[in-house]
Structure 1
Amino acid sequence: MDFNIPEHLKGLTDAEVKRSQEKFGYNQLKVSEKSSWLKLLFDIFREPMLILLIIIAVIYLVVGNYGEALFMLLAIVLVSGISFYQDNRSKKALEALEKLNEPLSKVIRNNKILEIPTHEIAVGDLCFTEEGKMINADGVIVHSNDFSVNESSLTGESFSVFKDNKSEDKEIYSGTSTVSGLAVFEVQKIGKETKLGKIGESILNIKEEKSPLQIQIERFIKYMAIIGIAVFLSVCTVNYYHTRNIVDSLLNGLTLAMSILPEEIPVAFTTFMALGAWKLMREGIIIKKSSIVETLGSTTVICTDKTGTITENSMHLKAVYDFKSERVFNDKEFNDQSVAEVIQYAMWSSEPVPFDPMEKTLHQIYAETQKEDLRSHYKMFHEYPLEGKPPMMTHLFKNNEGERIVAAKGAPEAIINVCNLSEVQKSAIRKEMEIFGKEGYRLLGVAKSDFKGDDFPLRQQEISFEFLGLVVFYDPPKKDIQNVFRKIELAGIKIKVITGDNAQTTESIAIQAGIPNVSNPVNGDEIANLPEAELMKIANEKVLFTRMFPEAKLRVVEALKQNGEIVAMIGDGVNDGPALKAAHIGVAMGEKGTEIAKAAASVVLTNDDLGKLVIAIAAGRRIYTNIKKAVQYIISIHIPIILTVSLPLFLGWAFPQIFTPVHVIFLELVMGPTCSIVYENEPMEKNTMLQKPRPITETFLTWRELILSIIQGLMITAGVLFIYQLTYRSGGNEELTRTMVFTTLIFANILLSLANRSFYYSMFESFRNKNILLVIITFLTILILGVMLYVAPVSNFFKLTSLNIEQILTAASAAILSVMWFEIYKLIKRFR
């Protein structure tokens, strides 16, 4: 915005800023700990899988199996390398998000206004704040213009307080918000030393709640760990009973424990969420907490404002209705002197330095149409801010000669109520309002007063006004908005329009935007007086909510939540703050949204495009579905590993130690990247945004899905153990049997990763969804298997042998039969 810096406000120099920051530090409550690579590595080496690998490596070293010990050490490097890579990617993604989420602050330095990250504000800085902005440090006002501040975050009082450099209380505090005007204040306290900082110290120690999905996954891991310990002890006991060899018994037990532990799941969850948020950031969608991605996919209702969300927020002055002449002037007739008074008073009732698009337009039209620009001759000496239900505002100006201008504007109903009009006159004005409203125009009533004296009433509604006319704005719907709402509807998500505008204008714009079922809107006054049960019913049934004030918006959001809806609330104004905070997902506009709206929201759309929210919801659904695919894959592939290690031992088969730790760790090295890297990169299925939203209460795996994964695992186990028996009964020795079992399991693993790309579409249909990482991992797995089978030193180390073409085809056939039945299941599912 334009602001001429007064001569005496030069601000700090660069050298003074540096000295101040060295002495007082930075403007942050808590210095964020930078996780070093050493800390990351330390965290990784606390993981159960790494601990098991280290124990096995030590046992091999103690008994003198140096080749196996060396392999285990290489495995430790590889597993920790993969974990380090994933953790580092997640960390960097979260750091990038944190950086973007930090608000910018305006300061005067070297006699220039600069925008800097808030943590760089220094003691002694001259900070600049304006309407709709958060105040980010404690200080004293040195210059102001019509400045009022909301201090409810500190005092609990919701009304705004006017302050200037001459008032008794000229201090302003971090965490409060500018309601009107502008101010320059000298910073006295920053970070922990601010009033908010001293309260905030206790807040910093409050741990963030875990999401339902995190809790469910942690519970699942805990159960698997308990099972792992129980099986480890039983295998050790049984093996020791048969062999009386403590080392073999320990190795067998540890092999099985390693095969049971699904350590890939928490890694996959963290990676999916952090990278999902990072990818959305690149799309212009800033997610403040990566866990909100999970909630996005469950959105059932989107509550949206009209102006700037559905419409362009361009606010063209389309027409002016002059009450005296009872005539409507279109935008080519604004130079007509008959309409001059309405334009003048519409401008005078606006902020002297306009913030709102409508007020900017009124200032511009005034400058273009009036013979003499009197703005520099008059100074505002009293103001009534926008308030009331419906709202209005009043500004009082005077010049050096003491001549006054008292101007008001607001919702036409509010202006009509404060003017002395007959019922016939009111009826004529309402008729004009109805005509304009049906066209989707936004209307403001304009009035003037001859109020004398300085005994200002407490409320502006007590002043007697003369009605002058209506200013008529047209804010057209955004170009692609119909397509956006069609996508939202197809995704099974309901739309609610919650706006401060009148019913006729809102209904007209909603119809133009393609929103269904918009008849019979409800207004804010009705909402305020409704009992809770009635409100819940209306919130569910109605689509348009008009003439809404903050408390009414909040009530609608709370009612929808009580109805079991997952609510995304979109807003950009100061008044949207409470509703944005209360919604499951508060969505603020990045370009035209106020700082207060952005601070209250959990998602910020950087280019104010509602279509981006649809992308975010789609991403939430994709990520949740992919986590499910990864988890189901992990469960399915762990079952054959567990049973192949344990059943030959428990059933007393010929080769009880068919797999040793080196074989299991190789399988783990294949599975880790498949679930946490490949599935994270899996594109969205084409029917994802045609499904109903997932209930947030739904467990991440239903019993049906869990049973399906277990059946998949058991079918692969049947195929692998069939190959075991077939090879053994055909005269195969331990090495050949192990090789056939191992090869079958690798082939089954590859096919399972392909089949589980979709639980609805066929594997061949899924090939259309390009995932280059899947191709790379599959190719590498086959290549390494080839090396293990046909490079003698490697095959000797793994106690494997080379296979002929017939044996490979036999192993491949068993793998195909044990996995591809799932394609028939999906086909039947599609036919149903």
Structure 2
Amino acid sequence: MPENKFHTNGLSDAQVLEAAKKYGLNVLDYKKPNRFKIFVLGFFKEPMMILLLVSATIYFISGKISDGIFLAAAIILISAISSFQNARSRNALDKLKDFTKPKCKVIRNGIVTEIKTEEVVIGDSLLVEEGVSIPADATIIHSNDFSVNESILTGESLAVNKDKSSKDNIIFQGTTVSGGLAVAIVIAIGSGTKLGKIGTSLESILEEKTPLEMQIGNFVKKMAVAGALVFLVVWGINYYHSLNVSDSLLKALTLAMSILPEEIPIAFTTFMAIGAWRMIKDGIIVKQMKTVETLGSATVICIDKTGTITENKMSLAKIFTLPSGITDLDRKLSADENRLITMAMWASEPVPFDFMEIALHDAYSKNTPEDARPDYQMIHEYPLSGKPPMMTHIYENKSGNRIVAAKGGVEAFITTAVLSPSEKEAILQAVKTLSFEGYRLLAVGQAEFVGENYPKTQQEFPFEFLGLLAFYDPPKKNIASVLQHFEKAGIKVKIITGDNAGTTASIAKKIGFIGYDKSISGDQLMQLPEKELQETVSKTNLFTRMFPEAKLKIINALKGNNEIVAMLGDGVNDGPALKAAHIGIAMGKKGTEIAKEAASLILINDDLSKMVDAIAMGRKIYANLKKAIRFIISIHIPIILTVFLPLVLGWKYPNIFSPVHIIFLELIMGPTCSIVYENEPIEKNTMDQKPRPFSETFFNWKELSTSIIQGLAITAASLMVFQFAVSKNYDEATTRTMVFLVLVTANVFLTLVNRSFYYSIFTTLRYKNNLVFLITGVTISITALILYVKPMNAFFDFNYLEYNQVLVAIGAGGISVLWYELVKLWKRHFKTA
């Protein structure tokens, strides 16, 4: 935390507790949803639950009490499973929201400390600086060149300058600091703030569904419509033959239950929520669900240099002055060099929070015997602005002596300072030399000014060029391997930085960055016509001297090239580009609140390698969800056709299954798809594949056809065993038992086989997922109990099977699924992964 130099101690711990007790915490008191009411309404919106209720009611009315009790128990069990899954998802999302809660700085007990914004109390001393979202309404008591963007309240996009003496000296919750720094005393929190009073309208805003969510919703709706139509046909056929309303209705309901894939929406919610929570544990905060979907499709990632490629540990390494040239700091400095460091310090913020400015204050303290900082007061300030940017501070002491100091990009001073051609050439040669060695450069100037009519812009001052400061920020140790991981995964990397081309190219070359020798500046980029711009951003990987408009233009041009763009940023000027990117990524430690607010994903520890993990996790979640849904489709097809075909084809036992059998199969499938597959590890070839096209529909025909063929193969096996049993003159109960065993066996083998559509079952059995064996073991155990425990056997209307009958059923069920291992073998030997 920065040192407290603001002459205020803030609240004590006791005062904080008293204020919290008296006024509450800084939260908006919106109406909380009634979860029980939501559960009940959700229950009656579920088609499967309605079918179960109707079936149970018919059983009770017709006197089949035990069947009715079973279905009632099934309703309770399915509700419990659904509630458990929803609770898992909700808890994961609640924890996610807790992690994404913004933090702020306050002065308490005389110390600057960081807390969650909800812990702010009335009377707190807020410390707000550039890029911060203001957490409460407060009155300014101290400021340095402070300006605020209040567009969220006023609609006005221009920043407003404020200080303690201005008429409007109040800052408001939800607005953002555009520049400078301020200390303000909190006067309103939560619903009592100006934003809170108008914020109740947020309650009516509904969260927009993601593309994948809509695809799944449409698929389930279509299946529900198909189920309704088939239900009417089957009811009609059965009633025509039996003239029994309740019996024909039960048989029709059996088929309707088999058609509804109600597990798919549950699986989707579970995978996305639990996946997001897993990412948090890996240091990645996903703010929006749609980001999980998009991660696996990212084709380009745009990254900054400072703090992303480099350590962001600025150390002043060398200096340049026109009299002395380039020199090191490990010796006694000349008067010109001391003056250079002194003016660089005056051009920095009085309370530095930037690593470069901290290094300048440290260098001043080490090289100046007498500290003049307490004697001078800042009387005017020009914030960082211009292309390239520069900033100017004006100080004055009690004697009326003034200091006008400025620092910024080298080009800014070459155009504003009075320099001879030979001096300009010497400066440019120094820039070239130092940039080639990878140093980050800062030019420093000084001006003389008398009077109160300050120039409108800082560029109007007649600056004297004092020299250059060369800072070294070493590359991160793991950055080269991180970039190789991106390249291996088919993701292009673009460096977008405000630094100059020489320094950036030098660092890029050191880390083995592809395309380090070709760059374009922000000014050059802005002049390109649209078509040429799209070609340039495609072929160029190094973008230097960038500013907000140029960054945004790069993102939009890449999107115009049909790239799925991830953009990493940390500053206020990164906000527009982060918002425009498909995946906006903010740094958790050095990122401003504006960057975090604009981003959809936050790297908690500012580690780019976590972005590789995030993309891998995104691909894994998507792949596992797809496995689950393909499993659901594959296993639903044989259930539907085994119920439907014997009826329409007029076979000997036309209604082989009742609702109790279908519900049992549903109870087996639910945990498999939404628990087992969600816990599957990432496959080893996942990050070797190209990004998934974002336009690709989740239910594409190539993959859907595989699931359909698998389902038809299981159907063929169940119907062949059906006919085999009939040909052997087995009774209906024995036939039912054998067909049921085929479906359960196929379910178990399908769970194992579909864990990968590329690697063999022997490979996937070694995957670390204990839930596979737990769920499979439970399924086999319960099936054995149903087949051989007399009361359960009788309840399901089964017969004991002989040894050869069990072998036929299990053999058919196994073969109906295991044939796909031959397809996977062909893929491994004749196709690429």
TM-score range, shorter chain: over 0.9
TM-aligned CA distance change 1:2 to 1:113, over 3 Å: closer
Matched residue, 2:777: 779
Note the C-alpha offset of 1:197.
4.2
1:39 shift after superposition: 3.9
Query: C-alpha displacement at 1:35, in angstroms?
Result: 5.3
The within-5 A match list for 1:586-665 is 586-665=584-663
- CA offset digits 1:654-682 (Å, max 9, x no partner): 11121111111010000000111111111
Structure 1 residues 632 and 7, CA, compared in 2 at 3 Å: closer, same or farther?
closer
Residue identity matched to 1:740: M
Partner of 2:23: 21
Q: How far has the Cα of 1:9 moved from its partner?
A: 5.2
Q: Deviations over 1:758-797 (max 9, x none)?
A: 1122222222322111111111111111101111111111
CA distance in 2, matches of 1:349, 1:823: 70
Q: Which moved more, 1:610-619 or 1:37-46?
A: 37-46
Question: Deviation of residue 19 (structure 1)?
Answer: 5.4
Matches within 5 A, 1:383-782: 383-782=381-780
Is 1:408–1:447's contact at 8 Å kept on the other side of the alignment?
yes
3-state SS of paired residue (1:291): helix
2:313 corresponding residue in structure 1: 314
Give percent identity, aligned residues only: 54
Could you list the per-position Cα deviations for residues 335-357 of structure 1 after superposition, in whole angstroms to 9, with x for gaps in the alignment?
55552111111111110101111
Please give the alpha-carbon distance, in whole angstroms, between the structure 1 residues aligned to 2:539 and 2:452.
49
- Cα distance per residue 1:703-728 (max 9 Å; x no partner): 12112111111110000110111111
Provide Cα deviations, 1:402-425, integer angstroms capped at 9, x if missing partner: 111111111111122111011221
| Secondary structure in structure 1 of the residue aligned to 2:138 | strand
Once the two structures are TM-superposed, the CA of residue 156 in structure 1 deviates from its matched residue by: 5.1
Post-superposition shift, 1:361? Answer: 0.8
- In structure 2, what is the Cα distance between the partners aligned to 1:157 and 1:391? 24
The 5-angstrom pairing of residues 267-416 of structure 1 reads 267-326=266-325, 328-333=326-331, 335=333, 337-416=335-414
Q: In 1, Cα distance between the equivalents of 2:359 and 2:110? A: 29
- Corresponding residue number in structure 2 for 1:2: 3
Q: Are the equivalent residues in 2 in contact too, given 1:233–1:253 (CA < 8 A)?
A: yes
2:67 corresponds to which letter in structure 1? E
Structure 1 residue matching 2:131: 3-state secondary structure: coil
Structure 1 residue 101, shift from structure 2 partner = 1.1
CA deviation profile, 1:258-311 (whole Å, cap 9, x unmatched):
100000000000110000000001111111122321111111110111111111
Number of equivalent positions = 828
The residue type equivalent to 1:129 in the other structure is V
Q: 1:517 to 1:8 in 2, by over 3 A?
A: closer
Q: 1:323 to 1:200 in 2, by over 3 A?
A: farther
Report the Cα offset of residue 542 of structure 1: 0.9
> Structure 2: how far apart are the matches of 1:241 and 1:195?
69
Distance 1:96 1:7, change over 3 A: closer
Q: 1:39 to 1:523 in 2, by over 3 A?
A: same
Mapped partners of 2:28, 2:633: distance in 1: 43
Shift of 1:145: 3.4
Contact 1:329–1:339, Cα closer than 8 Å, also in 2: no
In the TM superposition, what is the alpha-carbon distance from 1:37 to its structure 2 partner?
A: 5.3
Q: Contact 1:557/1:583 (CA < 8 Å) preserved in 2?
A: yes
Q: For 1:700 and 1:334, how far apart are their aligned partners in 2?
A: 68
1:221 equivalent to 2:220? Answer yes
The TM-score normalised by the length of structure 1 is: 0.96
Taking a change above 3 Å as real, the CA distance of residues 607 and 759 of structure 1, as seen in their structure-2 partners, is same
Deviation at 1:18, TM superposition (A): 3.5
Could you say which residue in structure 1 is the equivalent of 2:102? 103
Q: How does 1:816-831 map to 2 (within 5 A)?
A: 816-830=814-828, 831=830
Deviations 1:129-172 (A, max 9, x none): 12331112223212223423233444555554432111222122
Q: Which moved more, 1:148-157 or 1:484-493?
A: 148-157
SS in 1 for 2:166: coil
RMSD, aligned CA: 1.9
On the 8 A contact 1:44/1:84 being kept in 2, the answer is: no
In the alignment, the residues of structure 2 paired with residue 690 and residue 361 of structure 1 have an alpha-carbon distance, to the nearest angstrom, of 42
Please name the residue that 2:88 is paired with: 89
- Give 3-state SS (helix, strand or coil) of 2:471's partner: strand
CA distance in structure 2 between the aligned counterparts of 1:343 and 1:805, rounded to whole angstroms: 92
Find the counterpart in structure 1 of residue 256 from structure 2. 257
The structure-2 alpha-carbon separation of the partners of 1:3 and 1:112, relative to structure 1 and needing over 3 Å to count, comes to closer
Aligned in 2, Cα 1:139/1:312: closer, same or farther, shift over 3 Å? same
Tell me how far apart the structure 2 counterparts of residues 399 and 691 of structure 1 sit (CA, whole Å): 65
| Greater Cα offset, 294-303 or 102-111 | 102-111
The 8 Å contact of residues 590 and 604 in structure 1, kept in 2 or not, is answered as yes
Distance 1:378 1:274, change over 3 A: same
Is 2:9–2:109's contact at 8 Å kept on the other side of the alignment? no
Match of 2:370, SS state, is coil
Q: Equivalents in 2 of 1:813, 1:728: separation in Å? A: 18
Deviation, 1:46, is 3.3
Matched to 1:296, the amino acid is: L
Equivalent residues of 2:4, 2:110 under 8 A apart: no
Q: Which amino acid aligns with 1:449?
A: A
1:726/1:195 Cα in 2 relative to 1: closer, same or farther (>3 Å)?
same
C-alpha contact 1:138 1:174 (8 A) present in aligned 2: yes
Tell whether the 8 Å contact from 2:9 to 2:107 is kept in structure 1 after alignment: no
Secondary structure in 2 aligned to 1:803? coil
Contact 2:16 2:121 in 1 (8 A): no
Q: CA separation in 2, counterparts of 1:268 and 1:61?
A: 32
Opposite residue 218 of structure 2, the aligned amino acid is R
Q: Identify the range of structure 1 (167-176 vs 752-761) with the bigger mean alpha-carbon deviation.
A: 167-176
Distance in 1 (CA, whole Å) between partners of 2:6 and 2:407 is 29
Deviations 1:471-491 (A, max 9, x none): 001111111111111010111
- Equivalent residues of 1:13, 1:110 under 8 A apart: no
CA distance in 2 between partners of 1:477 and 1:8 (Å): 39
Structure 1 residue runs without a partner (length 5+) = none
Secondary structure of 2:467's aligned partner: strand
The 3 A distance-change label for structure 1 pair 487 and 56 is same
Distance change (3 Å), C-alpha of 1:761 and 1:515: same
Residues 208 and 334 of structure 1: CA distance in aligned 2, closer, same or farther (over 3 Å): farther
CA contact (8 A) 2:11 2:124 kept: no
Structure 1 letter corresponding to 2:15 = T
Q: Deviations over 1:296-341 (max 9, x none)?
A: 1111110111111111100111111122222x22232365555211
Post-superposition offset of 1:124: 4.4
Unaligned runs of 5+ in 2: none
Distance of aligned partners of 1:6 and 1:796 in 2 relative to their CA distance in 1, 3 Å threshold: same
- Where 2:289 maps in the other structure, the secondary structure is coil
* Distance apart, 1:519 and its partner CA: 2.4
In the other structure, the counterpart of 1:789 is: 787
Find the residue that maps to 2:438 and give its secondary structure. Answer: coil
CA distance in 1, matches of 2:146, 2:563: 39
What amino acid maps onto 2:238 in structure 1? Answer: N
